[in-house]
Amino acid sequence: MRWRLAMVTGASRGIGLEFARELARVGTRVILVSNEPEELERVAAELPGEPEVLAADLGDAAQLERAEARLLDRADPVDLLVNNAAAVRTGPFVDADVESQADMIRVNALAVCRLTSAAVRSMQADGGTICNVSLLLHRSPMPQNAVYFATKSFIANFTLAVRQELEDTPVSLTLVCPGFTATGAHVDADYDTSWIPGWLWSKPETVAQAALRHAAAGRAVSLPDRKYAALGALINLMPQPLVTLSGRMSVGGHPQFFRSLRPGQRFGRTPSEDPEAPSR
């Protein structure tokens, strides 16, 4: 790994935590970003080197600006940005609280756009890498989870488009597309995973390690392992109507597939009672 200083959002748990651990292990200094200050301090205490803690809710404009300002600090420049933080609300869109949906868009789409912009401006002189975390199924509209999947689709299209714009510059973007990943967040979201076969699950450290290898190699897209590489290739060959149908079947075939979150809860932001439970 060639990076000197990395910013990782959503670093207090799950895939973001594993990005931070792996980067610190290979000697990259890490800026940990999350809206969980106590968890960040715990993570910082366990990591080697001198990790920096930046407690910020990226759905809040003023706090997002602090993260942007850190990326633009040329005195101590960041050469790797990992946009991993995410918020999710499940349940029928027509019943959803409008502000909760707007918050999801702010965290999952607007923050990714603004932090990517700040990172690109900072990295254009000396080069750098940006990893934006989406989903394997970002092409699949998902009933009962409409806005969340729409934001992940945004991340995918945005990342690949900006990558093309910057292909003649020293800045590289990699789209990270995990599948079902055992982080505990599905439990937080009250998400029924009983129908998912065990072989489909990936470990969060597998996702992070693969993403960093692929980003270092300059790949456009990172899939965590061979099974998901094969599934990704298959999905890319599927016509959009079939991809759309797969999303509808996933929900329609399992009435309890999604259940509404408790008021105010965000994906990966409330500690799970079972931290080893499978999650995306």
Q: Give me the active site residues, please.
A: 148
Helix (H) or strand (E) holding 5: strand 5-9
Q: Which residues of 111-126 are buried (b: 16+ CB within 10 A; e: fewer)?
A: bbebbbebbbebbeee
Joined together, the tokens standing for residue 128 give 């750098």
Residue 192 φ/ψ, nearest 5 degrees: -75, 115
Q: CA 155, CA 220: separation in Å to the nearest integer?
A: 13
Q: CA 149, CA 153: separation in Å to the nearest integer?
A: 6
Our CA dihedral for 249, 251, 252, 254, rounded to 10 degrees, sits at 110
Joined together, the tokens standing for residue 215 give 């980003």
Joined together, the tokens standing for residue 107 give 């965290």
Task: Count CB neighbours of 10 within 10 A.
Answer: 28
Q: CA 86, CA 257: separation in Å to the nearest integer?
A: 20
Whether 115 contacts 66, CB under 8 Å: no
Q: CA 246, CA 258: separation in Å to the nearest integer?
A: 15
